[in-house]
């Protein structure tokens, strides 16, 4: 077979197989919408208010990009960035930010060098259908209270269904 014939066969196979390979490379994903983020934040806010907690509530998408931020009245300003960092950590590492805090407490200080990870309790992944679609971070009160408020918000995602 000549080089021209080989090139033609390769091109023909690529043209025919191209759509098949392209379809095989696509994945359907569930994404967190602003409306979903509002529902999550509303539950977290209600829990925080019921407990008299002054917190920041940050909801991010699966890549850690901010979708929604609420700073309840009289919450310290420093908690804004901390809440975002907790949420981002939970989203991009697909686990609660407390995991990193526990690692540091147990002597693995190298966890502090992980890019984008904050070793502070209060960031929780938002999971739908076994997949992380985002995260919520809460900051302003005790680490345990922050995490409890975040868990309450994240739990709402169980009710989300694929449209």
Tell if the pTM clears 0.85, that is, is over it.
no
Please, what is the angle between helix 98-105 and helix 143-155, to 10°?
150
pLDDT at 115 exceeding the cut of 50:
yes
How far apart are the C-alpha atoms of 125 and 3, rounded to whole Å? 54
Contact status, residue 83 vs residue 58, Cβ threshold 8 Å? yes
- Once rounded to an integer, what is the mean pLDDT over residues 96-115? 96
The pLDDT value recorded for residue 133 is 96
- Once rounded to an integer, what is the mean pLDDT over residues 47-75? 98
- Once rounded to an integer, what is the mean pLDDT over residues 120-142? 97
pLDDT, greater one: 27 or 5: 27
Contact status, residue 58 vs residue 150, Cβ threshold 8 Å? no
Q: Identify the DSSP state of 97.
A: T
Tokens 């700073």 — which residue?
A: 71
Contact status, residue 138 vs residue 149, Cβ threshold 8 Å? yes
pLDDT at 11 exceeding the cut of 70:
no
């Amino acid at each position: 077979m000549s080089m021209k014939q080989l090139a033609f066969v390769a091109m023909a196979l690529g043209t025919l197989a191209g759509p098949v390979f392209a379809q095989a490379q696509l994945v359907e994903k569930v994404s967190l919408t602003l409306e979903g983020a509002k529902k999550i934040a509303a539950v977290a806010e209600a829990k925080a208010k019921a407990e008299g907690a002054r917190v920041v509530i940050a909801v991010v998408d699966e890549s850690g990009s901010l979708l929604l931020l609420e700073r309840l009245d009289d919450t310290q300003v420093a908690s804004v960035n901390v809440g975002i960092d907790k949420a981002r950590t939970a989203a991009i590492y697909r686990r609660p930010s407390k995991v990193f805090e526990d690692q540091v407490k147990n002597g693995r200080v190298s966890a502090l060098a992980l890019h984008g990870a904050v070793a502070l309790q209060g960031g929780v992944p938002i999971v739908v259908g076994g997949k992380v679609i985002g995260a919520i971070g809460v900051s302003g009160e005790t680490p345990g209270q922050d995490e409890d408020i975040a868990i309450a918000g994240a739990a709402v995602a169980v009710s989300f269904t694929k449209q």
